[in-house]
Structure 1
Amino acid sequence: MSRPAPQKSLRHKNADLHGSAPDKSEVALVIVDVINDLDFPEAQQLARFIPELADKIARLKRRAKAAKVPVVYVNDNFGRWRSDFRALIEHCRKGKARSLIEQLYPGEDDYFVLK
C-alpha cells in the first residue's frame, strides 16, 4: 500500500511572510491601540508612561522583524468608519502623539486592522 507523498509545510511555501497575506503563520506580533492622537482627558496622566512603553514595543517589534514574524497593528478608527490606517497615522502625527508615532510607525510590510 503506497502512502501519499508528504506535503511541504505552508511555512516553506511562503518563507517571506510579508507582501500579501501569508499562507500560514504560527505566530504574529499583534500591537493593539498604540496609534493614538492622545486627545482625551486621561492622556496627561498616561504621558509619563508612554516613552518606556514605546521603547519596549519598538524593541519587541525589531525582534519580530529579525525573526520574520509578521507584525499586525490593530487600532480604533476614532469613529471614522471609512478611514484608512495611513490617514489615521498622519492624523495622529500632527498632534501630541508625534514622538510616539515616529517611534512605532508601521512599516510597509506590516498589516493593519481597524476596529
Structure 2
Amino acid sequence: MPACGKCNQSKGNSYWKDWILADVKLSPKNRNVENLVDIIIRLEKYESWSNPKRIDFEVIVGKETWEKHWENCERLHKVMQESQQLSDEIKQTIETWINKSDAGI
C-alpha cells in the first residue's frame, strides 16, 4: 500500500490492515485518525483492484545484505538527528547574538 515514509517505517513488514488497527507508534488507530473504517474500505478496494505481489527483499538480496542496509539506514537517521540538533543550536546562538547586537550589548 502507498504510505508516507514515517508511516511506512512504523508499518515495517506488517500487513497494512494489521498495522492500521494495531497499538503501535504512528498507527492510524493510535493517532485516532478519523474515518478509519472508510479508509480501510478504500484500501481494500484498492487492494482488490489488482493482485498485489508481496516481495520479501531479505530473501531476494540475502539476510546479511538486508541487515547491512537497515544498519546503514539507522546510522543515517542518527547522523541526521545529530545534524538537526546542531543546526538548532547554531540557530539559537545566532538569534541570541542578533538580539544582543540589536540591544547594543
TM-score bin (small chain): under 0.3
Higher strand proportion: 1
Q: Given the two structures, how large is their TM-score scaled by the length of structure 1?
A: 0.25
Task: Identify which of structures 1 and 2 has the higher relative contact order when contacts are C-alpha pairs closer than 8 Å and 6+ apart.
Answer: 1
Higher helix proportion: 2
Q: Given the two structures, how large is their TM-score scaled by the length of structure 2?
A: 0.26
